[in-house]
A = this chain, B = another copy of it.
């Protein structure tokens, strides 16, 4: 892996492409990773890239970057850049990431890996090429301490053999029918609606927690509000061309059945990714709005059985030992910092790191199968292996 050693001095030079919501969250991670994870290779926050020169220059100064740039193609070729972190809108992920891999860089791609299965496949192939840098997909919820703990407990058999899973990701930012049209509600720019945006997180968690991919689905998509105020001055309504709610059942080869429900219309739910895993000997429950907690039920003897609320802030639990003392909770942003740490460690050691591009492809195939099922009236659809 010598060819991937830092180009300059001891620290890996990073460029983040994109500076809106995800660019900010990733910048925060790069700025803090060394403080919380001093054991991983160091980084140099080199370049923030965006299309609007003035805006990206201002953002770079705020967020702690050494410089800013507007041409990502140029940046990924620079010698002082070792890691390219792709935070653009999803339809640009494939192009940027492929170019960065071709330029010999390590590449982190924010989810989704890409908007289409075909693009995902191209990325998986590129990442597997000889001499390619380390790659990682930014499903940051794999670094929620409570979910990493959940995975460990399941892998240890603490809840027995899993049978039934309930997945829901509910938000309400589109519940107001007067909320205006955006690019996220047009098929051509967004690719998908809530299924791709939130469903992808839920499906990735299922794969992560079970260690097994979904093999067959039934699904149903729905657009509750089909027209919204357009962006023009004439007040004309514009057609919404993506889903704002979706339902599915997901089957795995070992016989697990998971239900999935996602919505942007769930009034009162702000960011509620709820996961319930029922096994033969226990169960686990989680809600992202209380991401420092995990409810764990283990079947046992005696009169004090029930579900235990675990405040996941102890040093022997995943990630949190790097943060604060027990009872001092971490924020949503911590997941990106821990993700960056794992990526840097993998770069340092050359070891595999999850989620891989193949993991992203697996999610995309499940989402595609759900769309196929929905289009067919809810028929069962196998997921391409």
Contact = CB atoms under 8 A, between A and B. Distances in A.
A34 B35 CA distance: 17
A291 B163 contact: no
A310 B299 contact: no
Interface stretch (A165-173, A185-193, A233-241, A361-369): A165-173
Nearest to A168: B166
B28 A32 contact: yes
Contacts of A35: 24, 27-28, 31, 62-64
B249 A247 contact: yes
A206 to B, nearest CB: 15
Interface stretch (A77-85, A95-103, A124-132, A267-275): A267-275
A338 B166 CA distance: 34
A280 B328 CA distance: 23
B259 A261 contact: yes
A278 B267 contact: yes
Contact of A278 (B25, B266, B310, B380): B266
Interface in A299-334: 299, 303-311, 313-314, 316-317, 323-334
27 contacts: A25-B324, A28-B35, A163-B245, A218-B218, A259-B261, A266-B278, A267-B278, A267-B279, A268-B278, A269-B278, A270-B311, A271-B313, A271-B326, A289-B292, A291-B329, A296-B306, A298-B304, A303-B316, A303-B317, A305-B314, A307-B308, A308-B309, A328-B331, A331-B334, A377-B380, A378-B379, A378-B380
Interface of A: 21, 24-25, 27-28, 31-32, 34-35, 38, 58, 62-64, 149, 152-153, 158-160, 163-164, 166, 168, 171-173, 175-177, 218, 220, 222, 224, 245, 247, 249, 255, 257, 259, 261, 263, 265-272, 276, 278-283, 288-292, 294, 296-299, 303-311, 313-314, 316-317, 323-334, 377-380
